[in-house]
Amino acid sequence: MALFLVIPLFIVALLMGVQSWLWRTERRKLLILAAALLTACGSDGLGPQSGPLRLEAAVGRSSLRFGDTTSLVFRLRNVGTDSLVLNFSDTCQVLPYITTPRSDQVVYPSGGAWGCFDALTSLTLAPGAEKVTSVLVRGGAQATYPAVPLLPGQYLAYARLAHRDFPLQSARVSLRVD
């Protein structure tokens, strides 16, 4: 029986309080379908890195003391054989984030989200080319621009490509400030 017929019949049977054959025979299929739909809705929409682009993350030093600095480096690489031109409707392209691992609270950028200007921008990557985005972090409560201050604790850093055709996210790298 087609799914578009099963669901309305299931709803009617529930509303009427009838334990029909539909309820008994199709219940398992409907539960599996509902679980699959909920799982799909829970996705962040970020695809696997199986196409021509890779977004990689690295940290210079994974453990910092108060006052030390290190760099978080995010590389968007074209591993394909053709040049790629990525067009964007705003100034956001590769967006780095630093979060706390327990609550996944974004600590960088401050406020939790990037503010991007509406402007048509593009990024061209030849085969083998890469765009590098770096974030300088410093252990401690105060840092001068461009360093991002991080209080003592454990952090995760990653980057996202803000492109509709290549929704990529790098792996998360760990960083600790003592």
CATH tag for 53-177 (out of 3.65.10.10, 2.60.40.2360, 2.60.15.10, 2.60.40.10) = 2.60.40.2360
Q: In whole angstroms, what is the distance from residue 137 CA to residue 176 CA? A: 11
pLDDT-based confidence at residue 145 (cuts at 50, 70, 90): confident
Please state whether beta strands 148-150 and 130-139 pair in parallel, antiparallel, or not at all (unpaired). parallel
pLDDT-based confidence at residue 2 (cuts at 50, 70, 90): very low
pLDDT of residue 46: 47
pLDDT of residue 50: 66
For 57, residues 6+ apart whose C-beta sits below 8 A from its C-beta are 72, 73, 74, 157, 158, 159, 170, 171, 172, 173
| Residue 95 CB neighbour total at 10 angstroms | 17
Domain regions of the chain by residue span:
3-41, 53-177
Q: For the chain, percent helix, then strand, then coil, each to nearest 5?
A: 20, 40, 40
Which amino acid is it at 103?
A: S
Percent over 90 (pLDDT), the chain:
58
pLDDT of residue 144: 77
pLDDT of residue 49: 60
Is residue 116 within 8 A of residue 88, CB to CB? The reply is: no
- Number of residues that this document lists for the chain: 178
pLDDT-based confidence at residue 19 (cuts at 50, 70, 90): very low
The more confident residue out of 30 and 145 is 145
What does the pLDDT look like over 89-122, one tens digit per residue?
999 999 999 999 888 899 999 888 899 999 999 9
pLDDT-based confidence at residue 6 (cuts at 50, 70, 90): very low
For 38, residues 6+ apart whose C-beta sits below 8 A from its C-beta are none
pLDDT of residue 74: 98
Question: What's this model's pTM, rounded to 2 decimal places?
Answer: 0.71
What does the pLDDT look like over 57-78, one tens digit per residue?
999 999 999 999 999 999 999 9
